[in-house]
Structure 1
Amino acid sequence: MKLKEIYRVKVFVVPDYVEKVRNGVLTVDQLQVGNYENVCWRSQPGIEHFVPTSGAVPTEGEAGEATEVESVRLEFSIKRDEALLRQVIEEGIYPNHPWDEPVIQVSEELEARTDK
């Protein structure tokens, strides 16, 4: 067993855009874990709550109004390379996500891999 340094990326997206965002990420990185590629995790839809401010360009809701939409968490790991991380976000997620300010969370983690 070995521990590999990775970035864990989580992005929240409305269900209708999950595949578009996932496919956008896959144009940048194949999300490979060992002998598997296209490895990611998707949650069941939950409810995301927000209030757009006057500077927002919301896909859902109006400025100043509380809004709730179904949202899915798409999660995956990539090797810990900041240039790759920026490319995944700027080229894979941003142009394929419907929101003007997508919720993207990144953490530095270790991922266990077999020696194979």
Structure 2
Amino acid sequence: MRDTNKVFHLAIPCKELEETVLFYEKLGCKLARKYDDRVTFNFFGDQVVCHLNPEGIDLSPKMYPRHYGITFLERSEFEEVLNNAINRELPFFQEKMVRFAGKREEHITFFLIDPSNNLLEFKYYHDPDMVY
């Protein structure tokens, strides 16, 4: 586990700043900074920076291998984000599903797609030892 004095940082491309801000704020992420070429969010305790780069957008995104997201340790937090996404009509790339059913690494997951085709995965493992 990481120490609580560390924050993971991820930089991704975005095609337009305002629509990016709207998406991530609806998701529940707090806008930390906004510049002419990028926006920074508190993404569930970590830092996501969306850099304006319309030419860098993946026009045909696939779930694997490129995505990012959150693995929840509490099922209630997973369900809260899922319900928030549904209620705020955020675009799903993949509805809620079960992966590896019946195996120790079984987990529930769903994917959202942001306005720049970045894929976000949210998941919860039934066995907490499988998180890492």
TM-score normalised to structure 1 length:
0.34
TM-score normalised to structure 2 length:
0.31
